[in-house]
Amino acid sequence: MASPAKAAPKAPAAKKTAAPAAKKPVAPAAKKAAAPAAANRSAATGSNPAVNVQPILNQQNHAPAPIQKYGTVTQRLPIGLEDNVRLGSVTMLNQMLADTITLRDMYKKHHWQVVGPTFYQLHLLYDKHYEEQAVLVDSIAERIQILGGVAVAMAADVAELSSIPRVPRDREEAPVQVSRLLDAHQRILKNCHDYAKKSDDAGDDGTNDLLVSELMRTNELQVWFISEHLVESPLTRAK
C-alpha cells in the first residue's frame, strides 16, 4: 500500500518593513548659516590639524639660553659704531636709565603723598614731571637697544644699579620731598655732563644728543620748577 504524499513546507512569511520617512528639504539659507557654525566648531575642537587654539604655557620653566646676555652688545644694527664704543655708551646709558626710573617713581610717590598748603600745586607739578621722566625712560631704553645692548628693566635690578639713595616708605613733608628730588636731579645731571663728554669723544653722536638735548635740558628745567618751592618768602605781606 502506497504511503500518502507529504505536504510541501510553507514558505516563511515576508517581514513587513516600514517605508523610509521622506527627508524634509533644507532651505538654501539654512545651509549657508550652518556652514560657518560647523567651521567654528571644527576650529574650536582642533579638528583642523593646522590650527590649535590652546596656548603653549609655562615655557619659562624649560627656557633655552637667553637670546642675549645683559652687559653685552651686538652688531645687529649697522649704525657705524664699533663694539667698544657701543659697550661704553650702553654702560653709561643703563646707569642713566636706572637713575631716571628711580627719579620717575619718586615723583609718583610724592604725587600721591604730598600734604600741606601747596598740596594742589605740587600734586599737579609732581605728576607733570613724572610724565616727562617716563618719556626719558623710554628714550634711554630705546637708545640702548639701538646700540645693540640690553636695557635694565625690572625693579630689583634698577634698585641695585641706581646711584640715588633709597627713599623711605614713610610719608614726608613737602620740603623734604623737594629736597630729595633736587638731590636726585643733581646726581643725574652730573652724570649727564660726564657721559655727554665721553660719548662725544668716542664719536657716538646719537648718545651725546640724547644726553644733552633731552636728559640734560629736561632735568635742568625740572630743577628750576621745584627749587622755587623751597624759597622762604612771605605770602601776603612783604618784609
Per-residue pLDDT of the chain in tens (239 residues, 90 and over written 9): 445 555 555 555 555 555 555 556 555 555 555 555 555 555 555 578 888 888 888 888 888 888 889 999 988 889 899 999 999 999 999 999 999 999 999 999 999 999 999 999 999 999 999 999 999 999 999 999 999 999 999 999 999 999 999 999 999 999 999 999 999 999 999 999 999 999 999 999 999 999 999 999 999 999 999 999 999 887 777 77
pTM of the model: 0.77
How many C-beta atoms surround the C-beta of residue 122 within 10 A? 20
Task: Give the C-alpha separation, 139 to 211, whole Å.
Answer: 10
Check residue 75 and give its pLDDT: 84
Residue type, 67: I
Decide: residue 219, CB within 10 A, 0-12 exposed, 13-18 middle, 19+ buried: buried
Phi, psi at 18, each rounded to 5°: -75, 140
Residue type, 123: H
Cα dist from 85 to 57, 75, 96, 123, 200, whole Å: 40, 11, 17, 41, 11
84-230 — its CATH code? 1.20.1260.10
**What angle (nearest 5°) sits at the alpha carbon of residue 162, between those of residues 156 and 164?**
125
Q: 63 with 182: CB under 8 angstroms? A: no
Task: Give the C-alpha separation, 127 to 111, whole Å.
Answer: 6
Alpha helix stretches (DSSP H) within 118-173: 119-146, 155-161
**Quick one: CA torsion of 137, 140, 141, 145, rounded to 10 degrees?**
170
In 143-205, the DSSP E strands lie at: none
Check residue 197 and give its pLDDT: 97
Q: 42 with 50: CB under 8 angstroms? A: no
Check residue 234 and give its pLDDT: 79
Check residue 37 and give its pLDDT: 54
Domain segments of the chain: what residues? 84-230
Residue type, 130: Y
Check residue 30 and give its pLDDT: 53
Check residue 51 and give its pLDDT: 84
